[in-house]
């Protein structure tokens, strides 16, 4: 049903115009088959997959019948792992079709990925800090097994795979033992399809025989199918069908005996060598060489977007070339950006400070007006108000201060200048009265710098500790194959994301508790407002740090770049968010950037709660919460989408 050659029965296939078809093979397959079943377990038709310009799978067609063991053989680098990843759905194909247990992988509602498939990747893909028991319980829970069933399977697998005690830590196991744990995790839920990428590497011959015997056993009733890759070609003689791969194509697909018979070879290995030689002689005239997989697309039969682009004569280097360029630019430019921001934003004079002016003087030639005209209007924006409006405004946080002149300011001031002795009333009346809002701004000399900085510093420390905790989480899991393995087991991107979020939340909660105890009890930083609001805002900022860390982790592949990204934004954010120097001193248009950053309004909100005792009814407080929640949602969605696109 899936195009050419869609027969359920294996055969030696004429691939790439090579040796003739071996129609008689069908009867051989039937003789060696454990049972019959109409729909194949896996059907791949004309599958193409490239990594950049490196074409790895090249019009590959393959059929795994139900209830069979399919041995996928081929030299290193021929594309076996890539094919298996396409089958389980962790890699998308560029062209062609794949059906696994009747549907394409990752089809909505399909059990692949999920409980129907057991996948043992080539990488170990095990959590090294887990014990053997934890590992099986973890996958048992993902597959929805009861603890009793998991326990029973665990006991069987530990005994069958000759594993040490279940309390042994994975990181303390030998290489071979780890591979067997990995195999055990794939076998755990008795899946209908087993995809095993080199399960017998590092396994002694006795156990290897036992594993093969087990595979033969489980496919007997015809419900379970197995695809297995191995470098030990001879062991694949126990498979019901072997597929011989080379340069991203399938050279033959038939029962091992049929392959040997056709090539008159005493061993499967010899048959494979002969097949490769004859393919090189005849097939290479029509099909690209291994290097040709990079060469001109006009030689290729493909016409898809990916494959039809002009392919240059580059090697693997061309595949990797562009990735380091932006990273290097980022590394070179980072110090320049940071020092520029420091010079621009720290220590400058404030601009656009709104000050309420209460001028009770009336008349023509007034000294109060002359004095006000001397103020630098770019720094101070004067708002003429009545006494009550000005005080209401300063309590609402709309004005930085009030400048007030009494009714007889000019005459009293003149008296102070002219007379040697004047009354207190004249002194007061002839003075400029200034009330500064000392609770949230730092421009007054009276404002303690530590007091100003503390709320912003608390948020910043919480945010960056959380970023640091999570920025590497997916990077390492992706590198070790854990992310893919969990995905094949049926864990969704959102579930992965939430699992990380909640586990890291526990860590940051302890950090926040200790930090607050120190600040309030040891350093006696005042808190006039609700402790609950203070804690909630700090925890939300911590969650935002986790979400941002997850974005970095989902988007970036290697530890070095992830670290650079996390560290690189720390200093600029600290400077532009007005944490160590007020936002009002940041020149435009950088100030607009500052206002949309996640910590600018949040720091201001925390200052208002702690030093003014304000609650959520005040705009400056709820705005901080709103911005934090907005960024949180954005980062979480972004991380989930990136992870989904990349898994
Ligand atoms: N993520 C990747 N990016 C770029 N190239 C890749 C990537 N993964 C694999 N390749 C290339 O694809 C080709 C096929 O790799 P694959 O791992 O599928 O081979 P294999 O047959 O499984 O080899 P082995 O038997 O050694 O495991 C190789 O040339 C490899 O360098």
Please give the average per-residue pLDDT across 468-479, as a whole number.
82
Looking up residue 48, the CATH number of its domain turns out to be 3.40.50.300
Please name the residue whose Cα sits nearest to atom 27 of ligand 1: 76
Distances in whole angstroms, Cα of residue 457 to Cα of each of 549, 568, 580:
19, 17, 8
pLDDT tens readout for residues 89-118: 888 898 999 999 989 988 888 888 889 999
In a domain, 344, yes or no: no
pLDDT at 27 (0 to 100): 42
In a domain, 347, yes or no: no
C-alpha 258 to ligand 1 mean position (Å): 29
Please name the residue whose Cα sits nearest to atom 31 of ligand 1: 77
Residue from 44, 74, 82 to probe ligand 1 pocket by mutation (most atoms less than 8 Å from CB)? 82
Say yes or no: 428 and 557 in one domain: no
- DSSP conformation letters of 192-239: SEEEEESTTTT--HHHHHHHHHHHHHHHTTSS-EEEEE-S-GGGGGGS
β-pair type (42-51, 54-64): antiparallel
pLDDT at 276 over 90: no
* Lookup result for tokens 């705009």: 619
Which domain does 409 fall in, by range? Answer: 353-436
Please name the residue whose Cα sits nearest to atom 1 of ligand 1: 51
Distances in whole angstroms, Cα of residue 244 to Cα of each of 224, 252, 382, 384, 586:
22, 5, 83, 87, 66
Say yes or no: 46 and 29 in one domain: yes
251 φ, ψ (degrees, to nearest 5) = -80, -35
- Select from 74, 15, 77 the least CA-distant residue to 44: 15
**Tally of domains within the chain:** 4
Helix axis angle, 619-646 to 493-517, nearest 10°: 140
Task: Evaluate whether 293 touches 54 at the Cβ level (below 8 Å).
Answer: yes
Please give the average per-residue pLDDT across 207-232, as a whole number.
89
Helices H / strands E in the chain, number of each: 26, 13
Task: Evaluate whether 51 touches 202 at the Cβ level (below 8 Å).
Answer: no
C-alpha 51 to ligand 1 mean position (Å): 9
In a domain, 338, yes or no: no
pLDDT band for position 550 (50/70/90)? confident
Say yes or no: 253 and 182 in one domain: no
523 φ, ψ (degrees, to nearest 5) = -90, 0
Say yes or no: 567 and 594 in one domain: yes
Say yes or no: 45 and 106 in one domain: yes
pLDDT at 175 (0 to 100): 85
Please name the residue whose Cα sits nearest to atom 16 of ligand 1: 79
3-state secondary structure of 525: coil
pLDDT at 545 (0 to 100): 92
Please name the residue whose Cα sits nearest to atom 9 of ligand 1: 82
Residue from 50, 53, 74, 81 to probe ligand 1 pocket by mutation (most atoms less than 8 Å from CB)? 81
Please name the residue whose Cα sits nearest to atom 17 of ligand 1: 81
C-alpha 50 to ligand 1 mean position (Å): 10
pLDDT tens readout for residues 358-386: 988 887 677 888 888 888 777 788 888 88
pLDDT at 19 over 70: no
In a domain, 324, yes or no: no
Say yes or no: 144 and 36 in one domain: no
Q: What one-character DSSP code corresponds to residue 280?
A: I
Average pLDDT, the chain: 81
For the chain, the first-to-last Cα distance in angstroms comes to: 29
Q: What one-character DSSP code corresponds to residue 148?
A: H
For 3-26, give one letter per residue: b (16+ CB within 10 A) or e.
Answer: eebeebbbbbbebbebbeebeebb
Say yes or no: 461 and 578 in one domain: yes
- Select from 340, 372, 345, 342 the least CA-distant residue to 359: 372
Say yes or no: 532 and 418 in one domain: no
pLDDT at 300 over 60: no
Say yes or no: 465 and 426 in one domain: no
Say yes or no: 479 and 589 in one domain: yes
Nearest-5° angle of CA 218, CA 223, CA 229?
60
d(CA 400, CA 580): 18
pLDDT at 439 (0 to 100): 56
Q: What one-character DSSP code corresponds to residue 599?
A: T
74 vs 629, more confident:
629
d(CA 100, CA 112): 7
In a domain, 331, yes or no: no
d(CA 84, CA 44): 11
Alpha helices in 447-558 (DSSP H): 449-470, 473-479, 482-488, 493-517, 531-555
| Domain closes at, from 404, 436, 468 | 436
In a domain, 14, yes or no: no
C-alpha 79 to ligand 1 mean position (Å): 6
pLDDT at 285 (0 to 100): 52
In a domain, 135, yes or no: yes
Please name the residue whose Cα sits nearest to atom 13 of ligand 1: 77
pLDDT at 283 (0 to 100): 56
Say yes or no: 199 and 256 in one domain: yes
pLDDT tens readout for residues 21-30: 333 444 444 4
pLDDT at 290 (0 to 100): 42
C-alpha 441 to ligand 1 mean position (Å): 59
Say yes or no: 616 and 596 in one domain: yes
Residues with CB under 6 A from ligand 1: 51, 54, 56, 74, 76-82, 122, 319
In a domain, 202, yes or no: yes
- DSSP conformation letters of 123-142: S----TTSBHHHHHHHHHHH
- Select from 147, 114, 144 the least CA-distant residue to 133: 147
């Amino acid at each position: 049903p899936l195009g050419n050659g869609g027969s359920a029965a294996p055969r030696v296939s004429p691939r790439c115009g090579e040796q003739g078809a071996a129609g008689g093979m069908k009867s051989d397959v039937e003789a060696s088959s454990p049972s019959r079943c109409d729909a194949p377990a896996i059907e791949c038709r004309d599958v193409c997959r490239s990594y950049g310009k490196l074409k790895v799978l090249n019009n590959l067609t393959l059929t795994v019948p139900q209830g069979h063991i399919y041995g996928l053989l081929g030299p290193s680098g021929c594309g076996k792992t890539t094919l298996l990843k396409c089958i389980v759905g962790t890699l998308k194909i560029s062209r062609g079709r794949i059906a696994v247990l009747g549907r394409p992988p990752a089809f909505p509602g399909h059990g692949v990925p999920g409980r129907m498939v057991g996948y043992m990747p080539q990488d170990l893909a095990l959590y090294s800090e887990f014990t053997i028991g934890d590992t099986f319980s973890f996958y048992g829970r993902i597959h929805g097994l009861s603890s009793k069933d998991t326990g029973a399977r665990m006991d069987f697998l530990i005994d069958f795979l000759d594993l040490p005690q279940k309390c042994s830590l994975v990181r303390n196991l030998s290489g071979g033992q780890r591979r067997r744990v990995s195999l055990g995790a794939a076998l755990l839920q008795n899946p209908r399809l087993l995809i095993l990428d080199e399960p017998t590497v590092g396994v002694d011959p006795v156990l290897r025989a036992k594993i093969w015997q087990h595979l033969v056993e489980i496919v007997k009733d015809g419900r379970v199918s197995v695809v297995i890759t191995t470098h030990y070609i001879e062991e694949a003689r126990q498979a019901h069908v072997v597929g011989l791969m080379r340069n991203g194509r399938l050279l033959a697909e038939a029962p091992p005996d049929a392959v040997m018979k056709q090539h008159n070879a005493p061993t499967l290995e010899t048959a494979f060598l002969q097949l490769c030689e004859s393919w090189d002689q005849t097939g290479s005239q029509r099909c690209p060489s291994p290097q040709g997989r990079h060469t001109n697309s006009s030689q290729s039969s493909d016409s898809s977007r990916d494959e039809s682009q002009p392919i240059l004569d580059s090697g693997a280097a061309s595949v990797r070339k562009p990735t380091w360029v932006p990273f290097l630019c980022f590394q070179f430019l980072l110090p320049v950006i940071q020092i520029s921001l420091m010079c621009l934003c720290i220590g400058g004079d404030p601009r656009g400070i709104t000050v309420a002016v209460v001028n009770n003087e009336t008349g023509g030639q007034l000294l109060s007006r002359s004095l006000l005209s001397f103020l630098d209007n770019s720094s101070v924006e004067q708002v003429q108000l009545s006494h009550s409006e000005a005080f209401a405004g300063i309590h609402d946080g709309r004005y930085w201060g009030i400048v007030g002149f009494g009714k007889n300011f000019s005459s009293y001031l003149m008296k102070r200048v002219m007379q040697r002795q004047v009354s207190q009333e004249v002194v007061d009346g002839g003075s400029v009265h200034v009330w500064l809002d000392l609770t949230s701004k730092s421009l007054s000399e009276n404002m303690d710098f530590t007091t100003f900085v503390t709320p912003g510093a608390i948020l910043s420390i919480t945010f960056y500790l959380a970023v640091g905790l999570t920025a590497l989480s997916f990077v390492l899991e992706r590198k070790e194959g854990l992310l893919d393995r969990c995905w094949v087991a049926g864990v969704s991107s959102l579930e992965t994301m939430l699992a990380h979020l909640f586990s890291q939340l526990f860590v940051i909660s302890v950090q926040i508790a200790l930090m607050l105890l120190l600040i309030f009890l040891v350093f006696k930083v005042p808190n006039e407002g609700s402790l609950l609001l203070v804690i909630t805002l700090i925890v939300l900022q911590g969650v935002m740090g986790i979400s941002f860390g997850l974005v970095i982790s989902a988007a970036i592949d290697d530890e070095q770049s992830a670290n650079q990204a996390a560290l690189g934004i720390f200093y600029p954010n600290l400077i532009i968010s007005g944490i160590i120097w007020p936002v009002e001193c940041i020149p435009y248009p950088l100030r607009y950037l500052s206002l949309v950053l996640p910590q600018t309004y949040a720091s201001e909100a925390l200052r208002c709660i702690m030093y003014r005792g304000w609650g959520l009814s005040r705009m400056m407080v709820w705005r901080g919460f709103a911005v934090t929640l907005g960024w949180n949602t954005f980062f979480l969605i972004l991380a989930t989408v990136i992870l989904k696109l990349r898994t």
